[in-house]
Amino acid sequence: MILWIAHITIIGFFTFIIWVTLGAFKLKPFQQLILSLGILLLVNTTLEDISPLLNTITDFAAGGKKFEMPVQGEITKTYDPPHHHGIDIAIPEGTPIRAQADGKVIKAQWDNIYGQVVIVEYQNGLQALYAHNRDILVKEGYPVVKGTKIAYSGNTGRSTGPHLHYEIRIKGKAVNPFLHIK
């Protein structure tokens, strides 16, 4: 919702600026209309590209960093796109992985790379991915509350030792998880 308001405000602002700027060129009305629409389309495409950033900003506006670390353990690999889209936290196999807030399970399945993987969608479209689990305890579509046990950690998929691979995604794109962790 907040993201929508931000988007519409920004698009409205750009539309106004484009219209006023083009007005200075004294174009024919239909030229001004077509040029405005073209530029707006460009701006909107750019907005899509920066939407993770936008979402982070609106997220801060909505109360800032919400999440605790998903589990306690040593961070053995940090966020380093395009090589690594999340963080690795070394934990013993069988450590409970719990929902970090209220939300909904949008993926709970096997993946050749992520192994037994769970993705939970929280507020503002923020998604968290928990990978390489031994056992998944939830199903797609399940609602969760903060603290719901969603998996037992493991060493499945492309993994070289027991750990949790943790990602935060916005609209399916991985972002720096530390922007959202206290």
- Residues 128/119, Cβ–Cβ less than 8 Å: yes
- Residues 127/118, Cβ–Cβ less than 8 Å: no
Mark the segment that binds Zn ion (CB under 5 A) among 14-22, 54-62, 80-88, 92-100: 80-88
* Closest by Cα among 89, 167, 94, 90 to 135: 94
Task: Please say which residue, 66 or 77, places its beta carbon nearer to Zn ion.
Answer: 77
Mark the segment that binds Zn ion (CB under 5 A) among 13-21, 35-43, 159-167, 168-176: 159-167
169 binds Zn ion (CB under 5 A): no
Residue 18 φ/ψ, nearest 5 degrees: -65, -45
Task: Please say which residue, 102 or 111, places its beta carbon nearer to Zn ion.
Answer: 111
- Dihedral (CA of 5, 182, 118, 168) sign: positive
Tell me the HSE value of 159 on the side-chain side, using a 13 A CA sphere. 29
Q: Among residues 70, 91, 148, 165, which is the contact residue for Zn ion, using CB under 5 A?
A: 165
* Closest by Cα among 106, 182, 179, 99 to 145: 99
Task: Please say which residue, 52 or 177, places its beta carbon nearer to Zn ion.
Answer: 177
Minimum distance, C-beta of residue 86 to Zn ion, in the bound complex (Å):
5
Task: Please say which residue, 77 or 104, places its beta carbon nearer to Zn ion.
Answer: 77
Q: How big is the site for Zn ion, counted in residues (CB under 5 A)?
A: 2
- C-alpha 55/C-alpha 125 separation (Å) is 9
Q: Among residues 88, 105, 117, 177, which is the contact residue for Zn ion, using CB under 5 A?
A: 88
Minimum distance, C-beta of residue 85 to Zn ion, in the bound complex (Å):
8
Contact residues: Zn ion, CB under 5 A: 88, 165
